[in-house]
Amino acid sequence: MGLAEGIQKAIDYIEENITQELDLGQIARQAALSPYYFQKMFYILCGITVGEYIRNRRLTLAGDELAKTGTKVIDVALKYGFASPESFTRAFTRFHGVAPSQAKRSNARLRSFSRLKVQIILKGGNSMNYEIVVKESFTVLEKVERQQVADEQNTIPEFWDRSLSDGTIETLLQYALDRTYVFGICYGNGHSDNEHFDYAIAVQCSPDTAAPEGFRVSVIPKRTWLKFECTGAMPKAIQDLWHEISAEFLPVSDHQPTYEMDIEAYPSGDMTAEDYKSQIWLPIVDK
């Protein structure tokens, strides 16, 4: 199943169960992805988070129901998953610009958010620098923070800022076998609760490294990697590259990501410079 096909299958599942309690893990399984990678790929391809999509669709349908039927506000609120009429009224007013009671009027102007249909448009003409590398297993020393899969406020940049200011990066570099890169590693398979994943800031280290307090040593297994070169100021350049990889490269590629992790490799230098070069590494198998 291709990436776009999987995302569309998950959207169809959401729509079929829009008035039911929706679990991100169950939604992600429709696309054969972990919750982390589903959320990530959904945002890249659709431009909004899964939570925003569900909320916007529920409020659209709620508005339509209030405008066309005599259903009570409290019944509509409960039908579309709101805990109380008050929380429904606040969300409804922010979305539509009018209160639920006003939506019942014949001249009420309501906002509509349409059901998504995923389409991959192959633009062509773009040059994407990448290589395929078989890399033996290697050891990393890493500082790890557990992240929320469904967190609509990305806290990873704050993690990097703290690590630069509190000495974490300096400590990592003391153990580095190769100081060329500092890695940002997303462990995409997540945890058994489907709500969290580990994000690590790491360096390659010796296999016999003893982790200092607050750090851990992990082994990255032997894999075949797609390595993409990124040029430009952070974070926009790498965000743009992720979009190109997901929307343009992977749909027509003979390679399938394993979705167990991804690595962003950052060399020292001015990350705000237009000629700053970084990399994205994706472990792959042939389709």
Reply yes or no: is the peptide bond before residue 251 cis, omega within 30 of 0.
no
pLDDT-derived band at 120 (thresholds 50, 70, 90) equals: low
Higher per-residue confidence, 64 vs 106 = 64
> Quick check: 58 and 111 in contact, CB under 8 A?
no
pLDDT at residue 124 greater than cutoff 60? no
Give the pLDDT confidence score for residue 153 in this predicted structure. Answer: 64
pLDDT-derived band at 277 (thresholds 50, 70, 90) equals: very high
Query: What pTM was computed for the model?
Result: 0.84
Give the pLDDT confidence score for residue 188 in this predicted structure. Answer: 84
Give the pLDDT confidence score for residue 154 in this predicted structure. Answer: 73
pLDDT at residue 125 greater than cutoff 60? no
Rounded to an integer, the average pLDDT of 99-127 is 79
pLDDT at residue 123 greater than cutoff 60? no
The domain spans of the chain are 3-103, 130-286
Rounded to an integer, the average pLDDT of 63-76 is 93
Q: State the architecture of 130-286 in CATH terms.
A: Alpha-Beta Barrel (3.20)
Tokens representing 111 are 């906002």
Higher per-residue confidence, 197 vs 210 = 210
Which uninterrupted H or E stretch holds 264? strand 262-267
Rounded to an integer, the average pLDDT of 70-93 is 95
269 secondary structure, DSSP code: S
Sign, CA dihedral 112-21-52-30, equals negative
- Please give the Cα distance from 54 to 60 (Å, whole number): 10
Rg over alpha carbons for the chain, rounded to the nearest Å, is: 22
pLDDT digits (tens, 9 = 90+) for 245-273: 988 888 878 888 999 999 999 999 999 99
Tokens representing 63 are 């508005």
Q: What is the mean pLDDT of the chain?
A: 91
As beta bridge partners, residue 132 has 226
- Please give the Cα distance from 218 to 143 (Å, whole number): 10
- Alpha carbon of residue 213 to chain centroid: 30
Higher per-residue confidence, 86 vs 253 = 86
Q: Which fold has domain 3-103?
A: Arc Repressor Mutant, subunit A (1.10.10)
Spell out the residues 6+ positions from residue 199 whose beta carbon is closer than 8 angstroms to its own: 144, 145, 146, 147, 156, 159, 184, 185, 186, 187
- Please give the Cα distance from 38 to 24 (Å, whole number): 9
pLDDT digits (tens, 9 = 90+) for 126-180: 567 899 999 999 999 999 999 888 666 678 889 999 999 999 999 999 999 989 9
* Helix, strand, or coil (residue 35): helix
> Quick check: 277 and 229 in contact, CB under 8 A?
yes
- Alpha carbon of residue 267 to chain centroid: 23
Sequential DSSP letters for 98-121: S-HHHHTSTT------PPP-----
- Please give the Cα distance from 209 to 238 (Å, whole number): 31
* Helix, strand, or coil (residue 73): helix
What percentage of the chain reaches a pLDDT higher than 90?
Answer: 72
Phi, psi of 123 (to 5 degrees): -80, -40
Give the pLDDT confidence score for residue 42 in this predicted structure. Answer: 92
> Quick check: 76 and 66 in contact, CB under 8 A?
yes
Give the pLDDT confidence score for residue 252 in this predicted structure. Answer: 78
